[in-house]
Chains A and B, each alone.
Chain A
Amino acid sequence: MGSEEFVFLLIGLKWTVVLSAVGFVCGCIAGLGVALARTSEIPLLERVVAGYIAVFQGTPLLMQLFVVYYGLALIGFKLDAWVAVAIGLTLHASAYLGEIWRGSIEAVPRGQSEAARALSLKYVSRMRDVILPQALRISLPATIGFLVQLIKGTSLASIVGFTELTRAGNIISNQIFEPLTVFGIVGALYFLMCCPLTIFGARLEGKFAAASR
């Protein structure tokens, strides 16, 4: 494999990073909305959001990408493939992150929100200043775990036809007929992205577990 091929893989890697970053950031924003709706104590809203989460957790990411990709085209949005994939990943991430953060919001001791109420803090201040900072801390290991999941999930964009790292690997491997070398390198690049995050997440988890002992 020559340097030209490697550069092609690196361009694919760039798109993988872009997809992961956009999916994660937008997914975080939407996921916060999902988590707040899920803990809003408005029964109808909670049920609708619970259904949203169940749908995204009960279907393959690949199908979600297909449905979003073709669904958006169908209702008249002419979008680039990467935008459609980013929207699909955002929806996927919002459901998973929403569920993770619901759990951590509920894990904040009840006394905290009672105390905030007793101090007559309104909903926004109660959430922003009291509950969410604590919930964020609790949720950090799981959130990082999901980020790794999302980075790996961007590889499915290749099946939809977008040239990110995995599809770049496919193209190169069809050109030079060295699939093992190419996919070995592709795998190594994913590993280099994900492994530091995994280690960081595990370390945080250990730290929090020690602190709560």
Chain B
Amino acid sequence: MNYTLDFTPVIDGLPSLLLGCLGTLLLAICGMLLAIVIGIGGVALRDSRYKPLRWLVISFVELIRNTPFLVQIFFLYFALPLAGIRLDPTPTAIIALGINGGAYAIEIIRGGVQSISRGQMEAGLALGLHKAQVFRLIILKPALRAIYPSLTSQFVLLTLSTSIASAISAYELTSVSQRIESESFRSFEVYFTVTVFYLVISWLMMRLFAFFSARYFTYPVK
């Protein structure tokens, strides 16, 4: 073994790597927001009275959950232009992340909605709470509390899967690192450093989610 590690290309490329981190965060945050919208909409349709609609949602969820994200992103990348929608790789990646995350969000949110029984709502009304109060305190908050752990860990997974968006050269950390690697051939050094970056990003996200959980979702202790 006569190879000396050389991190100079990594240090020189640090500014663009940090910008790449911002790109990753942008992808992740937009993807999460879209996933929540798709998740809530999907749950509403999933429990609709019309059978075809229900089946549509079920097939959508199973289709997305049983195929690789990489294949989905390729498909979308080629399908959107054919449908007359011309988008840059980055917005395409956001849509793909949103669709993928949305399918998982539908299942998670549905579990939360089902965890609230009708009797609780009726009890709230019987205690003289206003309708808005019942919704906020008795339906929304416990439902959010129930889905929070699985939804946030799904979001961390979504953030990690943004690296796959490099396959269609969306602007994020992995594609930036691939550019630096192809210019310097210091593959191990570059990818090792970027792996550490991802570790920091996901660790910070988990801390942030834990902070919100402690702040908003713990029962008051006397």
The reply to whether the CB of A42 lies closer than 8 angstroms to some CB of chain B is no
User: Are A183 and B78 in contact (CB-based, < 8 A)?
Assistant: yes
Q: Write out the residue numbers on chain A whose beta carbons fall within 8 Å of the beta carbon of B206.
A: 58
- Determine chain A's interface SS by DSSP, over half rule: helix
Q: How far is B80's CA from A179's CA once the two chains are assembled, in angstroms?
A: 12
Q: Write out the residue numbers on chain B whose beta carbons fall within 8 Å of the beta carbon of A180.
A: 75, 78-79, 82
The reply to whether the CB of B150 lies closer than 8 angstroms to some CB of chain A is no
For A145, give the chain B residue with the smallest CB separation.
Answer: B65
The reply to whether the CB of B211 lies closer than 8 angstroms to some CB of chain A is no
Q: How far is B66's CA from A115's CA once the two chains are assembled, in angstroms?
A: 42
User: Are A58 and B203 in contact (CB-based, < 8 A)?
Assistant: yes
The answer, among B67, B174, B199, for a CB contact under 8 Å with A191, is B67
Tally of contacts, chain A with chain B, CB under 8 A: 112
Q: Write out the residue numbers on chain B whose beta carbons fall within 8 Å of the beta carbon of A170.
A: 74
User: Are A190 and B67 in contact (CB-based, < 8 A)?
Assistant: yes
The reply to whether the CB of B188 lies closer than 8 angstroms to some CB of chain A is yes
Q: How far is B137's CA from A7's CA once the two chains are assembled, in angstroms?
A: 58
User: Are B62 and A152 in contact (CB-based, < 8 A)?
Assistant: no
Q: How far is the CB of A85 from chain B (nearest CB, A)?
A: 14
The reply to whether the CB of A134 lies closer than 8 angstroms to some CB of chain B is no
Interface residues on chain B, number (Cβ under 8 Å): 37
The reply to whether the CB of B192 lies closer than 8 angstroms to some CB of chain A is yes
Q: Write out the residue numbers on chain A whose beta carbons fall within 8 Å of the beta carbon of B198.
A: 58-60, 63
Q: Write out the residue numbers on chain A whose beta carbons fall within 8 Å of the beta carbon of B163.
A: 60, 62-63
User: Are A195 and B66 in contact (CB-based, < 8 A)?
Assistant: yes
The answer, among A54, A67, A190, for a CB contact under 8 Å with B188, is A67
The reply to whether the CB of B155 lies closer than 8 angstroms to some CB of chain A is no
User: Are A59 and B67 in contact (CB-based, < 8 A)?
Assistant: no
User: Are B67 and A194 in contact (CB-based, < 8 A)?
Assistant: yes
Q: How far is the CB of B73 from chain A (nearest CB, A)?
A: 10
User: Are B78 and A179 in contact (CB-based, < 8 A)?
Assistant: yes
Q: A60-B160, A190-B71 are in contact. List 10 more A-B contacts (CB 8 A).
A: A59-B198, A60-B163, A62-B174, A63-B174, A74-B188, A152-B67, A180-B75, A180-B79, A190-B67, A194-B65
